[in-house]
Each structure stands twice: as C-alpha cells, then as structure tokens.
Amino acid sequence: MPESISDRKRSHLELCESSPVEYAGKTTLLEEVDFVHDALPELAVDEVQVGTELLGKRLRAPLLITGMTGGTEEAAAVNRALARVAEAKGIAFGLGSQRAMHRSPALAHTFEVRAEAPTTLVLANIGIVQAAALSTAEVEALARAIGADALCVHLNPAQELIQAEGDRDFRGGVRTLTRLARELPFPVVVKETGCGLSRRVAERLVAAGIRTADVSGAGGTSWVKVEALRADEAARELGGVFADWGIPTAAALLACRGLGLDLIASGGIRSGLDVAKSVALGARLAGVALPVFRAYREGGVAAAGAFVDRLIVGLRTAMVLTGARDLEALGHAPLVLGGRLREWVLAGGGA
C-alpha cells in the first residue's frame, strides 16, 4: 500500500530528530570565509543594530526559522511552538509543505500559527511540482487559509529522485513561477531545500519575476540522506551515491548575489558567526531548520528560544569584532575567501 503523506511527515521528523541526516563529505564552505579582525572597534555591543526588514515586515534580527512541517498533530505542535519562538524573538517563520492540506483541507489547523504569532512574518509553503498542478486560486487559498504573508515555493528535485514515491517530471517550473509571481496578490519566495541555487537558476528566477530567494545550500540537512534512510535497497544505493550532491551555501550566496534578489541563506547555518558570514556574503537573512527542531525536541520552546538567542549573540559579537554598526555595514565587511570557495567563484557559481 502506498505510504500516505502523513506517514512520510512522521518519518521525516523522526529521522531528523536523531539520525545522521547532515552532509558528511561536504560543508557549507562558510569555514572558507574569514573576516578581518578589528582590534579597535569604536562600538559598544549595545549600539549594534541587528534589525532588518523583509517583505514589508520589520524583524528584530535577520533570522528565519525555515519551513519544516505540518499535516499531523505532532507537526501542528511543532509549528505552534516554533511560531511562538519566532514571535517572541521578532524573527520570521516558515511552515512546511501544505500539499497534505490541499488534499485534506481539514488539516489546515496543523499549519495555523497566527494565534501564536500575530505579528510574525509567516511564510506558506508548497512544492514546485504541486504548484504546477494547482490553479493560482487554489495556491492562493492555501496561503490565505492560514493568514500567511507570502508563499515559499520549494525546489527539491534531488530529494524527489531518491524518494520512492517522489516526483519524476520537473518540466514547467519556470512557467509556474512566472504565473504565480504575476497572479498572486502576495510575494513568492523560491527556496531550495539543501542543494543550493546556482547563478543560472537565480537568473531564471529573476526573469520569472521572483524577487526573494532562499539559496538553501549544501552543508546542513541533506534530504538525499533523509530519503536514503527511508528507502529500499536500490534507492538507498542511489542515495549513497548522491549523498553529497549540491552547491555549498557560501558558494550559492556568492553565485546569486548582484541580481537584485533579496537573498536568504539557509543550509547548515549553525552559529551566529555563520549568520554574520552569510550577511557579509550578501544575504538579507539567514535561515535555520534542523538545529531549531532538535533544540525544541530536547528542551521545548525554551531550548529553541535559547538557540535563537545564541545565534543573535554570535552575530552581535562578529559585528563588534569587524567594527560593523549595522547589517548594512556588515554587508560591506572585507572578507578573505579560501581556495575551495574561490574555485566555486571561478566556476561562476554554477553559471
């Protein structure tokens, strides 16, 4: 019997909680980015400004809890808890794929977080292949039903190809994004899910009318690995071959900058220094998924909130040590890029 979406969501959460689902042979390459230390910063920690804006909403820090889940009661609890964290910290919050909700509208409550997060920037979520099969009105209804501010369309061809029941036909993606960007009355954010966006893809997004993109690069959670852990023998072998597939997050950021996109950096962001480096490489926000989920599973809302606080303290520390008063200044901080990252830059970041 084919597995239901709910069963799949349950097994994804279970595997992400405790199994080795992160890249092992590839990193974000953020370790190849060095700031130049400022031994004489004319700054007090308290005057460093980490506030920013995305999609018309103010954020108290340049952070997003990226979309993870929905569709089950367990997922509903995770969404509500992490949305509370986002509201308390003044950061953005993304929901997981609403595909299950389209099939069963009764599942809408598992994505509803407005009661917990009345002022938060909340992002709805759907996969590109599902979005292609829906009318614009149907897509709009999914986001409207939960009071989201914008819609994330996720791209995950690598995951789908390893997943036994995954999609196999990715044609028409650009056409779908062009239609949604033109017809939806709220912004569309395009995100990868851990394999990264190349410059060529970013250029096609811009041509499609997309203004915001999450590069979600390699180095953090690997969805190829998650699917390989769930798969039968043949798919497991294929998953093993492609376990380290993808564009490292730092390389994806450098590839996608300069095109007028508002960039979000996710995929392996694990510290405030990673957040600072992401901003210096051109990101407006950094996004985190796995570590927030794991912190929540270990210690509830308090632990997830403490993880977010640690990111902010680390970011502020990096800003003082580079003499950057605000995120705009951090975006212009001088950087030293190591050899492996420069190889990606020389290759045009996948152009």
Residue 294: what residue type? R
DSSP characters for 25-40? S---SGGGEEEPP-SS
Instruction: Give the shortest CB-125-to-ligand FNR separation in angstroms.
Output: 5
In contact, 72 and 108? CB cutoff 8 Å: no
Is 212 one of the binding residues for ligand FNR (CB under 6 A)?
A: no
Beta-carbon contacts of residue 265 (< 8 Å; ≥ 6 apart): 214, 215, 217, 249, 253, 278, 281, 283, 285, 286, 287
Give the residue ranges of DSSP H helices in the chain: 5-18, 73-89, 99-103, 128-133, 136-145, 157-162, 173-183, 199-207, 223-230, 233-241, 249-256, 272-280, 290-321, 327-330, 339-346
Number of residues that bind ligand FNR (CB under 6 A): 26
The stretch among 47-55, 62-70, 105-113, 239-247 that binds ligand FNR (CB under 6 A) is 62-70
Choosing from 268, 272, 282, 323, the residue that interacts with ligand FNR (CB under 6 A) is 268
| CA–centroid distance for 145 within its chain | 22
Is 245 one of the binding residues for ligand FNR (CB under 6 A)?
A: no
Judged by beta carbon, residue 158 or residue 269, the one nearer ligand FNR is 269
Please say whether the dihedral angle defined by the alpha carbons of residues 126, 307, 197 and 62, taken in this order, is positive or negative. Answer: positive
Choosing from 52, 120, 266, 278, the residue that interacts with ligand FNR (CB under 6 A) is 266
Q: Report which DSSP code applies to 49.
A: B
Instruction: Give the shortest CB-95-to-ligand FNR separation in angstroms.
Output: 8
**The two three-digit tokens of residue 136, written as one number:** 């614009």
Q: Report which DSSP code applies to 68.
A: -
Is 120 one of the binding residues for ligand FNR (CB under 6 A)?
A: no
Is 16 one of the binding residues for ligand FNR (CB under 6 A)?
A: yes
Instruction: Give the shortest CB-293-to-ligand FNR separation in angstroms.
Output: 5
Q: Report which DSSP code applies to 30.
A: G
Choosing from 91, 107, 290, 341, the residue that interacts with ligand FNR (CB under 6 A) is 290
Is 96 one of the binding residues for ligand FNR (CB under 6 A)?
A: yes
Judged by beta carbon, residue 87 or residue 227, the one nearer ligand FNR is 227
Binding to ligand FNR in span 29-58, by CB under 6 A: none
Write each residue from 158 to 197 as x if it is in contact with ligand FNR (CB under 6 A), else as -, in one continuous string: ---------------------------------x-xx---
Instruction: Give the shortest CB-108-to-ligand FNR separation in angstroms.
Output: 16
Residue where the block lists tokens 């811009």: 206
Residues that bind ligand FNR (CB under 6 A): 12-13, 16, 66-69, 96-97, 125, 152, 154, 191, 193-194, 216, 220-221, 266-269, 288-290, 293
